Structure 1
Amino acid sequence: MAITIPGGLNLKETLLEIKAEFAGYFKEREAEINGSLLAVLSGENLLFLGPPGTAKTQLAGSICQIIEGGNFFNYLLTSFSTPEEIFGPLSLKALEEDEFRRNINGCLPTAHVALLDEIFKASSAILNSLLTILNERKYHNGREIVDVPLLSVFGASNELPEEDESLEALYDRFLFRYRLSYIQDDENFKNLLFREPEDFRPSARIPVSEIEELRKNANSLSVDPDVEIIITELRKNLQLQEIEISDRRWKRIVQVLKVAACSSGCSAVDRTMALLLQHMLWNLPEERETIRKAVFKLVVSGGTDTEKLRQDAEDLRTALSIALKNELPVRVVCDSCGEEFQLRETLEVHHAACPNHSYTLRQEGNSRIYPYDNLVREIESLHVSSGKKSTLSQSQREVFEIEFEALADRINRVKKRLEEEKELLRDLMEANIWLSTADRNEALLLHDTGSSELSGTEEFIAEIRDILSLQDKGGRAAGSVPVKPSSSGLLSEVSHSGSHAAKVEAKVQASDLGNNAGGFIKGLGSRFKLR
């Protein structure tokens, strides 16, 4: 779905050229540049939060320059700003005819891109008309309703709005949100001070008509099923953390993802587009990292928590070890109440009810009194020195085998998925022009971390298999259970243009929500104090 603009370059190539020009001048602003361009293309508004002197005005003004024939409006708002400063002065000629109308030329209602600095200081007299412009791209000029050509409004502020219904409504109109800081890298700082020219003028241009065509084409794009699941699961995840996102916001987010996919030359919205959600969902700066982690976890491996898999395997091994040592090597007597114990399980229950009691061992020549922690260490030592082989009852063995095979199956499916996924991720991210270098690297690092954690998990699985002496059918290791068809399997497909024209197809399964071992381990944990 390549969109061609005058000069022979398709839109994707032009956007890549623009991004390269901007990244060369605006250091450490790759994500903000991507968001600014995408906001203009999708017709959404963008908010910069951060201190003065972080190039907010220059970036917004430069973005306007790429719009062929675009008008830029920039204004610093204060609590004393009047509607005349933003929407234009009253027309004296109209007043002579008993009409209330403004002369809007050169003001916000005629701009293609606008920057409103300190936007949350807007007075109530400005807010009503401003909200209508931001939401509907309409301006009520007296009796006339004017179509506003705005592609995007950039808001800038040093701080979030105070609790005020009208300001909260204004805040919600900014779909993209970025937190800016001063340049961190010394080399970039030196380039800014001593090597970069003062004036930046991008050479590439995009006609407004092509942006309108892009939006029209994006409407017909499909959304991959795995993206639907990612968004649904993410919404549930955020609701559990009391982060509420309005339905209107979700609707607009999906449209942005379609524009991102269309401008990247993709035939559908694939899951790497969902990484952009991190810039459109947070309400408070402290929510950013939580949302970012949730988004990346769902995009990479469908949300499978490999650390939790490792924990489940470790807990199952611990539960098995405790079950094998449930019969105490000697009888234990509570020195405080006289109760006698033969099983570790009943001892644990007693300790939970009476944590301050001490114990003695019915052992010849041993009259010591043990606090509970010392007793546990002594029991472990006696188990080792006795050389007695611990065994499981038939019913215990059956339960552990069932839980083990279920866990081994889950681990094997995740392993297979991770092996298939890496190249797919690379291909999808190569086609997606809206991801920053940091996002690409983090996604691949998260994938590699998951693979590494899975290797540790397989060691636990091997230990459990050895303890249970399981022989898998057909000579396979128990940790390599055949992959069963999953109803949660999802299809991701991406089309690459030019020399990369190929369809990449792979099954991407949703997170393993079912955890049979989990309930069993939780039950044992409550009795034997697992984790």
Structure 2
Amino acid sequence: MDYFKEREAEINGSLLAVLSGENLLFLGPPGTAKTQLAKNICQSIKGGNFYNYLLTSFSTPEEIFGPLSLKALEEDEFRRKIEGCLPTAHIALLDEIFKASSAILNSLLTILNEHKYHNGREIVDVPLLSVFGASNELPEEDESLEALYDRFLFRYRLAYIQDDENFRTLLFRSPEDFTPCIQISVSEIEEVRRSAKSIPVDSDVEMIITELRKNLQLQEIEISDRRWKKVIQVLKVAACSSGCPAVDRTTALLLQHMLWNLPEERETIRKTVFELAVSGGISTEKMRHEAEDLQAAVSIALKNELPAKAVCDSCGEEFHLRQEIEVHHISHPNHSYILRIEGSSEGSSRIYPYENLIREIDNLHENAGKKSTLSPAQKEIFEKEFGVLGDRVKHVKYRFEEERELLRQLMEANIWLSTLDRNEALLLHDARNIELSEIDALISKYQSMPGLQSKQVQPKQQSIKEDAKVSVPDNGNSVNGFMKGIGSRFKLK
């Protein structure tokens, strides 16, 4: 639909929230089509009732849950007339939700979490599929508001239209009245949820979520156990409605919209989610560091044997290895040293502070063109370490090259990913593949260092398709077809 510009991710999240029975929060300034979006999504539900209300600190329970029933009061019962109010809605938009009074908040928490409303002595099942909350700002530090905030699993930060062409379209073209091209019933939504419960989760997705939780904890970003549990169910609904046989790595990209607490955490979480999902948890940066650390270890080992005997001028201790001098310097940082170079009277009489001594030793190594001081045992260890790392890099690189097309197909089949997500994931995949080539070349370069012999071992080549055993879903799936239909109505062409 041409009315909604630059809202693809928000539309996807809104539809998925309705299907999975979760609530969604829009943070941002007024005038960003929040109400229109929620209202139009409600029209895609057969017989769906839409409820919209702007909350203030002075709002009363009667405004949200309905007025007191005078007839019930005559019978000494405290009951509200809830028809047409929040307890009878399928989709609700509560604007400025964090300004709700404490009188409203307690009932609101029960409705959001349990979909039940205590109407006097009667407990009413609320038909709400999803509540859309909207606010210009995050709640202040308040336990009650934090509990309310935690009930909104999906979170989106909205901004005004950025693209000039989209802005002109918004201003100067009359949007057509929204008419859903296809509708779904509440019973069909419930069937999707039931079917999703049996959808398996790929092992690499389990690993991604485990690693993501550890990563966030290191950054002091805490996610409640309740939210993690709900996240898994949402991923299953996303996979089921896309016609996927399992929750795969591409579905894990949706985690970026469900885990941040503060707006400033969004980009960090998005980057971490993409890194883990695209690479399957493999860190190319870590591989590069491993290669560089090995190279540094070889360099140190090659220069460990001193080109001349060193003597401590302060205590007379003699040294034959650089490591011995380093240990001595830690214990005696103020001691000075003499280098006894054969055939050089000047070297025998010159006194060096520690830093100058190390520079002079490096110069002597360089001038002598010393190729190797590695022992056979050291050489064997380093060759083995480089060989193992090189094999691992080659194997990962082969998997990356093999899986690109499969990754693209899986993302195309995943109806919940935005165009931006798909493009960014493929660009990141290609960037990581280039990095792996660079690391492979780096390892080959290090293996040819003086004192080392390269042992190139080709890794066993195995197709990522055989490893992953992932099948691309049939786009003819009935639920998938429904979502494609609704998506074509909301999204930009």
Partners of 1:26 and 1:352 lie apart in 2 by 67
Of the candidates 226, 229, 241, which is equivalent to residue 248 of structure 1?
226
Partners of 1:485 and 1:422 lie apart in 2 by 12
The residue that corresponds to 1:3 in the other structure is none
RMSD: 2.7
Partners of 1:129 and 1:341 lie apart in 2 by 78
1:137 aligns with 2:112: no
Partners of 2:377 and 2:211 lie apart in 1 by 37
On the 8 A contact 2:448/2:454 being kept in 1, the answer is no
Deviations 1:343-366 (A, max 9, x none): 222233344455666655445335
Cα deviation, residue 498, structure 1 = 4.9
Partners of 1:271 and 1:471 lie apart in 2 by 36
CA change 1:337–1:57 in 2 (3 A) is farther
Deviations 1:142-181 (A, max 9, x none): 1222221111000111222222222111111111111122
The residue that corresponds to 1:460 in the other structure is 442
Partners of 1:31 and 1:357 lie apart in 2 by 65
CA change 1:259–1:485 in 2 (3 A) is closer
1:470 aligns with 2:429: no
The residue that corresponds to 2:371 in the other structure is 389
- The alignment's TM-score, normalised by the length of structure 1, stands at 0.82
The residue that corresponds to 2:189 in the other structure is 211
- How many matched pairs? 471
The residue that corresponds to 2:484 in the other structure is none
Partners of 1:210 and 1:390 lie apart in 2 by 73
Deviations 1:424-473 (A, max 9, x none): 2111111101011121122112211211111121122112322354364x
Partners of 1:195 and 1:355 lie apart in 2 by 77
Q: Is the deviation greater in 334-343 or in 237-246?
A: 334-343
Listed as ranges, the gaps of 5+ residues in structure 1 are 1-20, 501-531
CA change 1:229–1:177 in 2 (3 A) is same
SS in 2 for 1:295: helix
- The alignment's TM-score, normalised by the length of structure 2, stands at 0.88
Listed as ranges, the gaps of 5+ residues in structure 2 are 478-493
On the 8 A contact 2:394/2:440 being kept in 1, the answer is no
Of the candidates 145, 152, 169, which is equivalent to residue 147 of structure 2?
169
SS in 2 for 1:271: coil
Cα deviation, residue 370, structure 1 = 5.4
The residue that corresponds to 2:428 in the other structure is 446
Partners of 2:140 and 2:162 lie apart in 1 by 29
Partners of 1:454 and 1:342 lie apart in 2 by 40
The residue that corresponds to 1:491 in the other structure is 468
CA change 1:170–1:490 in 2 (3 A) is farther
Of the candidates 100, 106, 130, which is equivalent to residue 128 of structure 1?
106
Cα deviation, residue 300, structure 1 = 1.7
Partners of 2:169 and 2:312 lie apart in 1 by 74
Of the candidates 307, 321, 325, which is equivalent to residue 343 of structure 1?
321
Partners of 2:115 and 2:154 lie apart in 1 by 17
On the 8 A contact 1:68/1:205 being kept in 2, the answer is yes
Q: Match for 1:60: what amino acid? A: A
Cα deviation, residue 375, structure 1 = 4.4
Q: Match for 1:247: what amino acid? A: D
SS in 1 for 2:320: strand
Of the candidates 384, 389, 400, which is equivalent to residue 407 of structure 1?
389
Cα deviation, residue 372, structure 1 = 5.0
The residue that corresponds to 1:511 in the other structure is none
Deviations 1:260-282 (A, max 9, x none): 11111112222211111111112
Alignment of 1:225-236 (within 5 A): 225-236=203-214
Partners of 1:271 and 1:335 lie apart in 2 by 63
Cα deviation, residue 112, structure 1 = 0.9
CA change 1:79–1:492 in 2 (3 A) is farther
CA change 1:223–1:74 in 2 (3 A) is same
CA change 1:455–1:104 in 2 (3 A) is same
Of the candidates 424, 437, 442, which is equivalent to residue 406 of structure 2?
424
Cα deviation, residue 322, structure 1 = 1.5
The residue that corresponds to 2:482 in the other structure is none
Partners of 2:402 and 2:205 lie apart in 1 by 18
SS in 2 for 1:153: strand
SS in 1 for 2:155: strand
On the 8 A contact 1:224/1:493 being kept in 2, the answer is no
On the 8 A contact 2:22/2:130 being kept in 1, the answer is yes
> Which of structures 1 and 2 has the larger relative contact order (alpha carbons within 8 angstroms, sep 6+)?
2
Partners of 1:63 and 1:166 lie apart in 2 by 29
On the 8 A contact 1:238/1:244 being kept in 2, the answer is yes
1:78 aligns with 2:56: yes
